[in-house]
Amino acid sequence: MAIRPFAFAIAGRELTRFLTDANQQYASVGTPCLSLAEADARDRAAMDAESRASAEANAAKDAAAQLDRDLKQARAEEEALASRENRIALAGVLFVIGALAAGAGLLFYSQQNMRNAKIAGGAGAVLMLSAAVLFVTRPDAHAESAAESAPTPAASAPELAKGNFLCTIRTDRSRITVSATTDVPVTIGAGGCVNDRTQYTQGADDRWQRILVPNEEATVTVASIDSTGRDYRVDRYLLDAEAMTKAREIRAGVTVKGCTANPDALAGLAAQQDAIRSALPASPNERLVYRCQPAAGSAAAVKPAAAP
């Protein structure tokens, strides 16, 4: 006789009541049940919205900076024009006075008053020469401001932010199945040293990552954070025995246990992590996305459970 398969549904509240009555402990997730495709779609939509908001903020900042530069340039040109006009006017006054003094010197000379003729003639010559110097050294009316003529510094590659951060779960961008969603404190040190004990390496997507391959569980965890320190993610992959064995074999070559600044050790760690990641499925079974903000106090003493 053929056995026919069957299925049934039970309300969550009925199941939790049954487990509670039977004194059985259980874990529950209070967030919507989403597929990873739905979580990815929400994640992309949220990232696009944040990217647009950031672009608009940067555009407004650039416009304000350009307006400030234009105002400074206008003030500099006004000051240069005023200084030019003042010099020309002063040069004209000195020239007229010098010309009068020279005329007086000629008059004294015609009267055989040699002493006064020398004084008046010398003063006139000095005044007229000073007028010529002032006129020649007058500022250019279209002089550029120092800020405008200064070279723009070349943009450098973004570095991983440093400091203490408190990361809060984004349920609208996460697919949560079994993990807790409590806040996660993260301390980022120099060179990708996280929580003073775990070395992260920079990946091709400008995210810093560390991959955990445990011996006791059949789950690989990829913890990553963006260069600003604001977007922290934990992807968990539930693997079969063969895939888990392969991941552990690659992990066995990782010799970096703590933080290091050795370039060769960092390069080796990055290569091994990329090899582990290439052996993982295209999509994780669970994804936790956190939004991080600078912490008010030190978070170095508290270690996040999600980070390897």
Rounded average pLDDT per 10-residue block, the chain, 308 residues: 63 78 74 70 75 82 86 83 82 84 82 83 84 78 50 57 92 85 91 91 84 91 91 93 91 84 90 90 91 70 41
Supply the pTM of this predicted model: 0.57
Residue 290 phi, psi (nearest 5): -115, 145
* pLDDT value at residue 299: 39
- CA gap 271, 263 in Å, rounded: 12
Distance between CA atoms of 283 and 219, rounded to whole angstroms? 13
Tell me the C-alpha distance between 41 and 37, whole Å.
6
- The CA distance from 26 to 93, in Å, is 97
Judge whether 131 and 60 are in contact, CB under 8 Å. Answer: no
Q: Which residue matches tokens 């260069």?
A: 227
Q: What is the pLDDT of residue 304?
A: 40
229 backbone φψ class: left, alpha, beta (φ>0; ψ -120 to 50): left
Where are any strands of DSSP class E within 109-248? 163-169, 184-188, 193-194, 198-199, 201-202, 207-212, 219-226, 231-238
Q: Round to the nearest angstrom and report the end-to-end CA distance of the chain.
A: 52
Q: What is the pLDDT of residue 184?
A: 92
The phi and psi torsions of 85 (rounded to 5 degrees) equal -65, -40
Residue 305 and residue 185: Cα distance in Å, rounded?
Answer: 9
- What is the reported pLDDT for 307? 47
In whole angstroms, what is the distance from residue 305 CA to residue 308 CA? Answer: 8
Taking only the tens place, the pLDDT of each residue in 86-120 is 888 888 888 888 888 888 888 888 888 888 888 88
Task: Extract the tokens encoding 297.
Answer: 């106090």
Question: What's the pLDDT score for residue 147?
Answer: 44
Check residue 292 and give its pLDDT.
93
